[in-house]
Copies of this chain bind each other. A is one copy, B any other.
Amino acid sequence: MSEYIEPIERLADMFRRLEGVGKKSAFRMAFSVLELSEEDARDFADAIISAKTDIKLCTCCQNITVGDMCEICSSSKRDRSVICVVEDSRAVAAVEKSGVYGGLYHVLHGAISPMHGIGPDKLKIKELLSRLSDGEVREVIVATNPTVEGEATAMYISKLITPLGVEVTRIANGVPVGGDLEYADEVTLRRAIEGRRAI
């Protein structure tokens, strides 16, 4: 039996399809929509439609963009000899925010995960390889997430790219800055010690 009237149930159902939204939050948000002005509700609906229709994938790096090529790929200021490979657009934003990186990106749109039926063919790996064919790129930094899936993807990519004569590197594991050693897990600590550097 449905708890609420149909338009609320229907709207909550839509919210539940979004990542990380449970039943309670879905209903809370559906009721929140009722508090919006008519105009804001229309703007919200428009924003959903336009996000779906206006956003494309950059023909080069596969990051989301509104034109054909994203701002980073189109920029003349970026170092075109390095590509940082990430799982999604949010990772691009995170690395950009750090301000430490001036090269290009490649967005895989996921990580290899046999458990979820995601094989390498579902990722933008082919597109990455084709970017390496002209010899301009000398290093690929694999910045997939430090998870089982991210590590497997990094290994897979490394095996494909190394034979092409392009250097493949992986971002470092270690204790996060500002963190407390007491709360670091064993694997992270082991990696931090293995990756120690002279000071």
Q: Which A positions have Cβ atoms within 8 angstroms of B?
A: 3-8, 10-11, 13-15, 17-21, 25, 27-36, 38, 40-55, 64-66, 88-90, 93, 96-97
Contact = CB atoms under 8 A, between A and B. Distances in A.
A51 B15 CA distance: 13
Contacts of A15: 29
B5 A66 contact: yes
A131 B147 CA distance: 60
B88 A6 contact: no
Determine the main DSSP class of A at the interface with B: helix
B32 A64 contact: no
B47 A14 contact: yes
B40 A29 contact: no
Lowest 4 CB-CB distances: which A-B pairs, in order?
A: A45-B45, A18-B32, A41-B52, A19-B32
Most chain B Cβ neighbours within 10 Å, of A13, A44, A97: A44
A94 to B, nearest CB: 9
Given A4-B93, A65-B5, A93-B3, A41 B30 contact: no
Contacts of A18: 28-29, 32-33
A57 to B, nearest CB: 10
A90 B50 CA distance: 31
Given A5-B65, A96-B3, A52 B28 contact: no
B36 A52 contact: yes
A55 to B, nearest CB: 5
Contact of A51 (B3, B8, B20, B97): B8
25 contacts: A4-B93, A5-B66, A7-B47, A7-B50, A7-B51, A8-B51, A8-B55, A10-B47, A10-B50, A11-B47, A13-B47, A17-B32, A17-B40, A17-B44, A19-B29, A20-B25, A20-B28, A31-B89, A31-B90, A33-B52, A36-B52, A41-B51, A44-B48, A45-B46, A45-B49
